[in-house]
Amino acid sequence: MADTKTVEVPAATVAAANEAPKPTPRIRYKVECEDQYGPKFDCKQDDAPFDLQVTTGPTDVDETMPVFEIITSLKVASKRPKYSDYMKMFKADGPLNLEDDDDDDEDDDEKKPKPERTLEGKRIVDVGQTRMVIHSPLLLDAIREVVEYYPSQNLTGDTITVHEPYCALVHYITELRNLSNSLALERTPADSDEAEKTDADVKYEHLQTLLEFLDPHVEKTVLPARRRLKKDAATVTWDDMWYLLRPGSLSYAMHDDTWLGVVIREAEITTDSDNPDIHKWKVTAWLLDHTWYSSSIRTAEVSVDVPYFEGEKTVTSLPIYPREYLDKTEESGDRRAKFVQRGARMRDIIWDGGHAYLRHDGEFADEKKRPYKGPLIIETTLPSGSDMPDHKWSLTGDYSVEEKDTPPKTNTTVTQPIALNAEKHPREWMSDDHLFLLCPIMTGFALDEKTWAPVHIDRTAPVAAPKYLPPDANIGDENGEIIKALSHRQLKSKVKWSADFVKGKGAGVAVLLYGPPGVGKTYTVEATAAHTRRPMVSLTIGDLGTNEESIESEITKWFDLAHRWRAVLLIDEADIFLERRSTDLARNGIVTAFLRKMEYFGGLLFLTTNRVEHIDDAFMSRVHVAIGFEKLDVDKRRGIWETFFQKLVRECEGQIRVCEEAQAFVLDGEMAEQEWNGREIRNAFQSAIAIAEYEASKDPEWKEDDEIVVKEEHFRRVMLMSKKFHDHVEKARKDNESEWSDL
């Protein structure tokens, strides 16, 4: 039988083996103290918060890492002893002996463990911010699983820090509770034979620890805010603004007197730059904006300030708020649906060529809020060097969001930032929420003013078919049909064919209109644009300049725009480009540049001139059709007068009327004999109406609703004034010719 050897195990070892492992602390409370009279220190205790009024020191702390920590910053100060206590301490220690060598004592002190500093004998001066530091990897996974969008909260790393009032967690408290309920169904039963807990068990316990910690906070601060927000007319207090402005919320925001659809990114309290005592909520949000120099759509940032207010404020009176608070009211006016509709209009413009011919009625979105009523081109690609008035719509683009080859995710409750390009991606990738977020400001070109401006899409409408087309001009039926045929081929025909063998050359149509002033040359082009419902770009030499170095680039710019917009291009009084070249090298260079650009222009070009006898031969070979206009005879003048009478009846019936005697005087009387051109007839007609309006306003019995009657005497006064002016000009010319003949 073998000998057995008994090994004695120390009692301490046995006790340690029999001792159950300490559980992981749930919550560790910690205070970080800044002592006014000493070094910084901290105190900590597990699973029980500090009572910062009476704390005398820490409890036993297990150094095992807790589920999460709650850390509060304090400023403390030592309680100063009385003078008598100082004297007692001095007598007990005896007088100082500076000659003693204390090196050995200092070495001994360094070897001794330093006593842990506590709050005992400390006076709390100030309680600072409190933060939560989450250590549990399983709890971190749970939070990342439900928090879809919170840019201001860093959710990466081995730990995350959340500052009180724990916004990111409170905003997703419902989702966290739902996850906890799901995990509860996956827990290992209590009577199971399995000894170890699964990850689902631990995740559930740690999540419950978090929810139990948050519940008192939610009950104290969030539930009152929720009750106010659930009222028919939702209200909010200043301190509850953080809860209202949840990151990721689709919201309405006011910028430059314009309501936008945005997604809230972050909200924080800041101070006014001019007065630090004035506080405000600074809310950063993002929206979708088309870049003004391409067909791309990207996220852009907008910032909204909410000034400080006392008491409760109606949510819909704020400059930014989640959209559901207006959508549920009767006063919403279907704003959300209108935002989606306007976004769809903008999307279609961007995807359907990047430009649109529209009519504008209202103010531009520049700083001066200039009014404009007339035709306009919406253009998504602003030409380089174009002058734009001062405005507040140069929004900061977020280029961190990259264009992707897959459609945006739709299985999410939060609208994610996107980057799209009309040349690469289908328009169907834009959801209704994306359309809601499209910034309504686009670049526009006012055709009547020939200026660029930021344009609100809601102030535009499609160009409707004219109820009344302008009558044919003074060109004859045959010439009129030729112009209509050329216009139709160039602007509407689907078959694009050129007789020139050089690609890109000779694809356009050039029409020359010549004749004396006021006989209908410009009117013919305007009528052509109206008949074809195409925009008309009207230029003069003043728009193009006379500098040889810059005029070619200007001509190129306007020709390219007219071709892109499929517009009718008119260069009025283009004599400098058409005249026969001479010894003036600068002017010859201008003519040569114009002829070269004209030959490669692919659109419909009209040119007018009063000096056909000076036209260069090289220009004649580049003109497809030349149409002359004769001086107006009596019948043509009568036709123009009748056209104006009919226009007045259509547009001002019941407001302004030309009496029968006045019409007879104009059409068959003395006024019919005046050899006026079309422009002079128009001016005379407008002047007679102005005189009639002024005289009516001087009548004390006249009311604004009364009809204004234009009488014969009004036309007669205009006729006599014009006749007097023409006689004076004629006499001056004869006198001038006489002086020259005497030299």
Same domain, 614 and 655: no
Higher-pLDDT residue of 295 and 709 is 709
Tell me, letter by letter, the H, E, C secondary structure of 464-509. CCCCCCCCCCCCCHHHHHHHHHHHHHHHCCCCCCCCCCCCCCCCCE
The pLDDT value recorded for residue 592 is: 78
- pLDDT at residue 5 tops 50: no
The pLDDT value recorded for residue 52 is: 59
For the stretch 246-258, pLDDT in tens is: 999 999 999 999 9
Same domain, 312 and 437: yes
pLDDT bracket for residue 240 (50, 70, 90): very high
Q: Is 29 helix (H, G, I), strand (E, B) or coil?
A: strand
Euclidean distance between CA atoms 515 and 631, whole angstroms: 8
Same domain, 394 and 281: yes
Euclidean distance between CA atoms 721 and 684, whole angstroms: 10
Same domain, 608 and 683: no
**pLDDT above 70 coverage of the chain, percent:** 78
- pLDDT at residue 112 tops 70: no
Contact residues for 77 (Cβ-Cβ < 8 A; gap 6+): 35, 36, 37, 122, 123, 125
Q: Which residues of 700-730 are buried (b: 16+ CB within 10 A; e: fewer)?
A: eeeeeeeebebbbebbbebbeebeeeeeeee
Mean pLDDT of 64-75: 88
- pLDDT at residue 450 tops 70: yes
Higher-pLDDT residue of 469 and 431 is 431
Note whether residue 579 is domain-resident.
Answer: yes
pLDDT bracket for residue 455 (50, 70, 90): very high
Same domain, 428 and 291: yes
* Beta-bridge mates of residue 45: 29
Of the candidate ranges 26-35, 211-220, 607-616, 634-643, the one whose mean pLDDT is the lowest = 607-616
Note whether residue 26 is domain-resident.
Answer: no
Higher-pLDDT residue of 506 and 366 is 366
Tally of structural domains, the chain: 3
The pLDDT value recorded for residue 6 is: 38
Indicate if the alpha-carbon torsion angle 170, 171, 175, 179 is positive or negative.
negative
Note whether residue 301 is domain-resident.
Answer: yes
333 CB-side CA count, 13 A = 3
pLDDT bracket for residue 322 (50, 70, 90): very high
Do residues 118 and 58 make contact, with C-beta atoms less than 8 angstroms apart?
A: yes
The pLDDT value recorded for residue 57 is: 47
AA identity, residue 604: L
Higher-pLDDT residue of 498 and 180 is 180
pLDDT bracket for residue 206 (50, 70, 90): very high
Mean pLDDT of 599-615: 84
Among 167, 134, 131, residue whose Cα is nearest residue 151: 167
- pLDDT at residue 45 tops 50: yes
AA identity, residue 92: A
Same domain, 606 and 695: no
Note whether residue 688 is domain-resident.
Answer: yes
Take residue 375 and report the two structure tokens written for it. Answer: 């035709």
Note whether residue 723 is domain-resident.
Answer: yes
pLDDT bracket for residue 518 (50, 70, 90): confident
| Mean pLDDT for all residues in the chain | 82
Q: Which residues of 556-572 are buried (b: 16+ CB within 10 A; e: fewer)?
A: eebbebbbbbbbbbbbb
Task: Quote the radius of gyration of the chain (alpha carbons, Å).
Answer: 42
The pLDDT value recorded for residue 8 is: 44
Same domain, 599 and 646: no
Q: Which residues of 73-93 are buried (b: 16+ CB within 10 A; e: fewer)?
A: ebebbeeeeeeeeeeeeeeee
Note whether residue 408 is domain-resident.
Answer: yes
Take residue 123 and report the two structure tokens written for it. Answer: 């006076």
- pLDDT at residue 673 tops 60: yes
Q: How would DSSP label each residue in 552-598?
A: HHHHHHHHHHHHHHTPEEEETT-HHHHBPP-S-HHHHHHHHHHHHHH
AA identity, residue 282: K
The pLDDT value recorded for residue 21 is: 52
Of 580, 611, 628, which residue constitutes the final position of a domain?
628
The pLDDT value recorded for residue 17 is: 42
Of 573, 599, 628, which residue constitutes the final position of a domain?
628
Higher-pLDDT residue of 9 and 287 is 287
Euclidean distance between CA atoms 351 and 380, whole angstroms: 10
pLDDT bracket for residue 356 (50, 70, 90): very high
Same domain, 643 and 620: no
Of the candidate ranges 98-112, 431-445, 458-472, the one whose mean pLDDT is the lowest = 98-112
- pLDDT at residue 417 tops 50: yes
Mean pLDDT of 79-95: 55
- pLDDT at residue 442 tops 80: yes
Take residue 63 and report the two structure tokens written for it. Answer: 């150094």
Task: Give the count of beta carbons closer than 10 Å to the beta carbon of residue 545.
Answer: 14
Same domain, 286 and 425: yes
- pLDDT at residue 114 tops 70: no
- pLDDT at residue 345 tops 90: yes
Do residues 715 and 644 make contact, with C-beta atoms less than 8 angstroms apart?
A: no
pLDDT bracket for residue 385 (50, 70, 90): confident
Of the candidate ranges 36-40, 202-206, 246-250, 721-725, the one whose mean pLDDT is the lowest = 36-40
Euclidean distance between CA atoms 141 and 263, whole angstroms: 25
Range of the domain at 664: 634-739
AA identity, residue 643: T
Same domain, 611 and 643: no
The pLDDT value recorded for residue 3 is: 46
Instruction: Please confirm whether the linkage preceding 165 is cis (ω < 30° from 0).
Output: yes
Do residues 167 and 153 make contact, with C-beta atoms less than 8 angstroms apart?
A: yes
Same domain, 489 and 574: yes
Note whether residue 159 is domain-resident.
Answer: no
Mean pLDDT of 558-584: 82
Among 208, 154, 157, 153, residue whose Cα is nearest residue 179: 208
pLDDT bracket for residue 54 (50, 70, 90): very low
The pLDDT value recorded for residue 195 is: 55
pLDDT bracket for residue 190 (50, 70, 90): low
The pLDDT value recorded for residue 662 is: 93
Q: Is 126 helix (H, G, I), strand (E, B) or coil?
A: strand
The pLDDT value recorded for residue 496 is: 55
Euclidean distance between CA atoms 330 and 349, whole angstroms: 32
Higher-pLDDT residue of 453 and 16 is 453
Of 578, 596, 628, which residue constitutes the final position of a domain?
628
Q: Is 461 helix (H, G, I), strand (E, B) or coil?
A: strand
Same domain, 379 and 421: yes
The pLDDT value recorded for residue 364 is: 95
Note whether residue 548 is domain-resident.
Answer: yes
